[in-house]
């Protein structure tokens, strides 16, 4: 019997691949809109939702989805309507989420194994409900991007032109942040809230190094996320190390390879111009 014969490994792999693909796609749009840090802000804000769910004895995943979704909508409102700098608002949500969680978990004496799994992820303990939720979230994300691809592409580069062409920019921005919020909650299950923002930021960053078109950036971003997730999980099983760390380090490794390749191409172009 091999490792892949175990059901929990297939469930973890499938859940990880679906979430990594949808977060990688959403991450490209957020990166182009200079909102890549929103992943870190919302994942840490979600920690407050997890603590509240434990306090109220509610379903942690369901409660955190609604909590993070609401946080994302308020965050977008503060950025868009109040004109506050995005990095400042994201830092505020980052701090409030962690502070709220520390206070609640300290009062309720719940700083145990359950919280540890949210901090560092537990992708190989995915339940049937969580797997179904990951499938539903991914399908919803793919449909959202497929239906609104041209509009999302336009608002990613120039919102003023998008407005002139009749695109409902505000509505689409709120929808984009909402979809990102839901994806971040399931990324927390995979790699923990400390590393969840990596799913949003690293694959698109890697793709931008070598791609020349928006569509190819999306495809390479998903491919990077896929390869890193599969390699990271299999590596963690072989070496008996936490899968969250090995998945994110695999993403960083691919990013470094792309960076070296980019530097090599630039040097080659300069040498050709010199001749």
Cα distance between residue 179 and residue 242, in whole Å: 27
Cα distance between residue 46 and residue 40, in whole Å: 10
The 10s digit of each residue's pLDDT in 95-154 is 888 888 888 888 877 666 567 777 777 777 778 887 888 889 899 999 999 999 999 999
Cα distance between residue 89 and residue 141, in whole Å: 25
- Cα end-to-end distance, the chain, whole Å: 59
Q: What are phi and psi of 213, to 5 degrees?
A: -135, 160
Cα distance between residue 236 and residue 215, in whole Å: 32
Contacts of 58 (CB under 8 A, 6+ apart): 52
pLDDT tens for each residue of the chain, 275 residues long: 666 667 777 888 888 888 888 999 999 999 888 887 887 888 888 888 888 888 888 888 888 889 989 998 998 888 887 777 888 888 888 888 888 888 888 887 766 656 777 777 777 777 888 788 888 989 999 999 999 999 999 998 888 888 888 889 999 999 999 999 888 888 887 777 777 788 888 999 999 998 888 899 999 999 999 999 999 988 988 888 888 889 989 999 999 999 999 898 888 887 777 66
The percentage of residues in the chain with a pLDDT greater than 70, rounded to a whole number, is: 96
CB 167 within 8 A of CB 209: no
Six-digit token pair at 51?
């603590």
CB 227 within 8 A of CB 251: no
Six-digit token pair at 217?
């950036």
Cα distance between residue 122 and residue 119, in whole Å: 9
Cα distance between residue 2 and residue 156, in whole Å: 45
Closest by alpha carbon to 130, among 179, 187, 172, 186? 186
């Amino acid at each position: 019997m091999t490792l892949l014969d175990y059901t929990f490994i297939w469930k973890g792999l499938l859940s990880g691949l679906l979430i990594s693909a949808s977060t990688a796609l959403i991450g490209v749009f957020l990166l182009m809109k200079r909102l890549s840090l929103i992943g870190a802000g919302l994942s840490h804000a979600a920690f407050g939702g997890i603590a509240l769910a434990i306090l109220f004895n509610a379903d942690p995943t369901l409660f955190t989805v609604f909590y993070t979704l609401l946080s994302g909508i308020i965050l977008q409102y503060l950025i868009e309507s109040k004109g506050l700098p995005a990095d400042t608002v994201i830092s505020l949500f980052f701090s409030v989420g962690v502070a709220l969680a520390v206070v609640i978990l300290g009062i309720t004496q719940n700083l145990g194994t359950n919280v540890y799994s949210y901090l560092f992820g537990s992708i190989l303990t995915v339940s049937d409900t969580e797997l179904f939720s990951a499938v539903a979230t991914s399908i919803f994300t793919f449909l959202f991007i497929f239906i609104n691809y041209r509009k999302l592409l336009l608002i990613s580069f120039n919102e003023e032109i998008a407005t002139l062409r009749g695109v409902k920019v505000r509505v689409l921005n709120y929808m984009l942040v909402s979809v990102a919020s839901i994806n971040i909650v399931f990324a927390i299950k995979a790699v923990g809230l400390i590393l969840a923002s990596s799913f949003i930021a690293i694959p698109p960053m890697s793709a931008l190094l070598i791609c020349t078109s928006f569509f190819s950036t999306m495809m390479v971003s998903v491919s990077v996320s896929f390869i890193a997730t599969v390699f990271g999980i299999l590596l963690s099983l072989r070496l008996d190390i936490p899968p969250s760390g090995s998945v994110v380090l695999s993403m960083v490794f691919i990013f470094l390879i792309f960076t070296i390749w980019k530097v090599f191409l630039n040097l080659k172009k300069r040498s050709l111009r010199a001749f």
